[in-house]
Amino acid sequence: MYRGRKYPFSYTLGWSVSRYDKFNVCKRQYYFDYYAKKHDNEVSPEKLEFLKSLTSTPLEIGNIVHDTIALQLRRLQKGTQPQSASEMLNYASQLVDRMIREKDFLEVYYKQQEKIDSDYLKTHIEACLNSFLRGSWYQWLISNPAHRPQDWLIEPDDFGEVRINGLKAYCKVDFLFPILGGDLYILDWKTGKVGGEKHRRQMMGYVLYAKDMFQAVADQVRTVVVYLGDDYQELVQSFSEDELQGFTQQIKTETEEMYQYCEDVERNIPKPKELFPKRVGNICTYCNYQELCGFGPSDITTTQAQSSKETQGQSLI
């Protein structure tokens, strides 16, 4: 099974679910994330790098759960004795302690809370890992070791670069493995709320990844979204060629929308920052770059109230 880079490096931007979502939510945040460090002359690269590096409690819960699961799967893949539940939880607890020491949190930096509650993180991470260990997929994996573990793809080191109808895209899977008979399964761990269209788009991207990288046929690929939170769920999906063709066209449209904000598409050079508009609202509370837009919490609240009044007034016209 192929695991390395398939395509030569190019500067052209690549579509991904997360990139387009950020573009769609707030163009200014998108600019800061993808372009500012090289092209913004008003803010130092060091400041931009620091703000981009800010993490958050939900993000770190997801990161640590994913890292701990990946370690366990790699042990299974190598035929090494898997960690016990207590060993996994202890490993995750150590990651929490180290992460709090070494990382800067958005919630603390913007004074939304005084400090990060390590017990809160550990409790939620423990619940997710216990859900994983009790889940039907993990139980199936440890009871069926003959299913070609040498071909498992676990949190690959690359970014999952593929080509979708000739366009550059990124679709990085959590865990992909074949089963006897030739079908491919792609599992994706979620530590937050049960999602809808966003997660469905992500799964269709993974199927397109499998088609490009492994020449898989659509009906050979099953995606499973495993929600590890309080409401444990496993959502198994497959997609028809017609659905994937429609999604491919959607990716083309979304990529072209992002291209419109480039002065030079091939070199991925953006247009001036002023052409990337701010979108002020609840999203600002969770944005790493809120200080660069000059909005504090009170400004955001005032803007939301004004927007609400304007909307009410328009409804009376």
How far apart CA 33 and CA 270 sit, in angstroms, is: 12
Residue 162 main-chain phi, psi, to 5 deg = -140, 180
Which of 112-126, 220-234, 291-305 tops mean pLDDT?
A: 112-126
pLDDT value at 300 more than 50: no
pLDDT value at 303 more than 80: no
pLDDT of residue 317: 28
pLDDT of residue 146: 57
The residue written with tokens 């995606």 in the block is 223
Please name the helix (run of DSSP H) or strand (run of DSSP E) that holds residue 189, with its range, or none: strand 184-190
> Cβ of 290: how many Cβ atoms within 10 Å?
22
> Cβ of 103: how many Cβ atoms within 10 Å?
16
Q: Per-residue pLDDT tens for 83-133?
A: 999 999 999 999 999 999 999 999 999 999 999 999 999 999 999 999 999
pLDDT of residue 15: 98
pLDDT value at 287 more than 80: yes
The residue written with tokens 């372009």 in the block is 35
How far apart CA 132 and CA 22 sit, in angstroms, is: 29
CA 17 to chain centre: 8
pLDDT of residue 263: 98
How far apart CA 99 and CA 94 sit, in angstroms, is: 8
Q: Per-residue pLDDT tens for 18-39?
A: 999 999 999 999 999 999 999 9
Identity of residue 191: T
SS3 167: strand
Q: Per-residue pLDDT tens for 63-75?
A: 999 999 999 999 9
Identity of residue 143: S
